[in-house]
Amino acid sequence: MDRRTKQRLDLQLVCRIGPSKVLSTPISSADVLVTQNFSRTGILLRWLPTIPLPSIGVRLTVDVELPSLPGRQPRAMRCTAEVVRIDGTSDRNRLVGMTIGKIRFVQAREDATRPDLESIPPATTLLN
């Protein structure tokens, strides 16, 4: 049963994760993920096999890079989020669903490396 109350947007945006509390396995600030979709109250991330999979109930900070306008500073939407579900059977097809708590907008990190988006499977093939 689908219990979503907000419309989901299918957008693939680069994001970075970090702990909002101490995790048993540290996450590097260079680790990047791609959003599968998100709404005001939730976000679904394509989880890469190189990043340790979080446990359900773990709280994370997620910085979603927003498209930048010419002549403007790059911005990111920083969310506090809690992992509520993990879907997918193989390391390459993991999807992590999170509920979003607080949101604020911050300056995007310019020093971080960009992922090779070509190496990430398209959204339509993830769970097939």
Q: What confidence tens digit (pLDDT) does each residue in 20-34 have?
A: 554 444 455 456 788
Domain that holds residue 22: 14-110
In a domain, 29, yes or no: yes
In a domain, 3, yes or no: no
d(CA 15, CA 35): 7
Please count the structural domains in the chain.
Answer: 1
In a domain, 123, yes or no: no
Tokens linked to 16: 């970075």
Q: Which residue has the higher pLDDT, 116 or 46?
A: 46
pTM of the predicted structure, to 2 decimals: 0.74
Q: What is the CATH number of the domain that holds 91?
A: 2.30.110
Sign, Cα dihedral of 93, 44, 123, 69: negative
In a domain, 25, yes or no: yes
CA 10, chain centre distance (Å)? 13
CB–CB of 98/92 below 8 Å? no
Q: Is residue 114 scored above 80 in pLDDT? A: no
In a domain, 119, yes or no: no
